[in-house]
């Protein structure tokens, strides 16, 4: 049995559906979503419905907050801003209210789940390096923390106990990058950036879903092929910026 962890779906229904199938084949029986269900892609309502059908444990991402009217759209670049406004216009009031009510973080089964840096989740800072991971783990009380937001998946590990001369979590090291699995050592704590279901940015266009398995003792970053051309065609048909379609084929 495993928990499937989805992040940064970004309205990409084709990627979401393939990730759900692949994760179930790997043993996923429950789900957590790390936010940004919407934004960029052309199927925001369908993705919201799918995620809500999978789980009631979803945290809020910055695109979710913007679509719900909680985040100033000037925070975004021009293409993202256009996508946010389009998404807000096509979603129902009920969908926007659901996004607005999402929490910024949650804990379950010894894990912490947050979209961005857990130190200040409302500021939407990235956790993108081993040093970022070490700093993030300083404020997390659980053994493992799952984040998204950067669209670049990796697993970092740090000592479980603070070094006596520093009073900190200690240096972290990246133990998995892009894809792969990791057995969890009781002498270490972990930060898992789950990458992106719907818009990878690490140079690999395949979708990414994380699996937290074996009673919490293993994590896998699973890359999944999906129908990129179909997702691109929908973006173009919706009149969204071409770059949002183009980047799906490049993975950055």
Please name each of the domains of the chain with its CATH number: 2-250 (3.60.21.10)
For residue 228, the model assigns a pLDDT of 98
Cβ neighbors of 23 (< 8 A, separation 6 or more) are 2, 4, 209, 211, 222
Strand ordering across the sheet containing 144-147: 105-108, 111-114, 144-147, 188-193, 154-159, 173-177
pLDDT greater than 60 at residue 164: no
pLDDT greater than 70 at residue 169: no
Helix, strand, or coil (residue 200): coil
For residue 179, the model assigns a pLDDT of 98
Beta bridge partners of 58: 33
Q: Work out the angle between the directed axes of helices 13-25 and 44-54 (0-180°, nearest 10).
A: 20
Residues of the chain with pLDDT > 70: what percent? 96
Mean pLDDT value across residues 122-143 = 96
């Amino acid at each position: 049995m495993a928990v499937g962890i989805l992040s940064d779906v970004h309205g990409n229904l084709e990627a979401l559906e393939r990730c759900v199938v692949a994760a179930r084949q790997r043993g996923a029986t429950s789900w957590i979503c790390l936010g940004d269900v919407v934004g960029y892609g052309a199927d925001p309502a369908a993705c919201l419905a799918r995620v809500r059908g999978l789980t009631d444990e979803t945290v809020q991402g910055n695109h979710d907050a913007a679509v719900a009217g909680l985040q100033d759209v000037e925070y975004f670049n021009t293409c993202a801003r256009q996508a946010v406004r389009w998404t807000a216009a096509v979603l129902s009031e009920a969908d926007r209210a659901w996004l607005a009510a999402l929490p910024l973080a949650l804990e379950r089964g010894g894990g912490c789940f947050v979209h961005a840096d857990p130190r200040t989740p409302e500021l939407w800072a990235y956790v993108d390096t081993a040093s970022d991971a070490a700093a993030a783990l300083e404020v997390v009380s659980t053994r493992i923390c799952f984040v998204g937001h950067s669209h670049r998946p990796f697993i970092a590990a740090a000592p479980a106990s603070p070094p006596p001369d520093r009073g900190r979590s200690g240096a972290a090291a990246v133990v998995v990058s892009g894809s792969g699995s990791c057995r969890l050592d009781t002498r270490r704590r972990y930060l898992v950036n789950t990458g992106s279901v719907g818009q990878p940015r690490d140079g690999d266009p395949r979708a990414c879903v994380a699996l937290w398995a074996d009673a919490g003792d293993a994590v896998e970053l699973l890359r999944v092929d999906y129908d990129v051309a179909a997702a691109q065609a929908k973006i173009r048909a919706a009149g969204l910026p071409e770059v949002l379609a183009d980047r799906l084929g490049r993975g950055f």
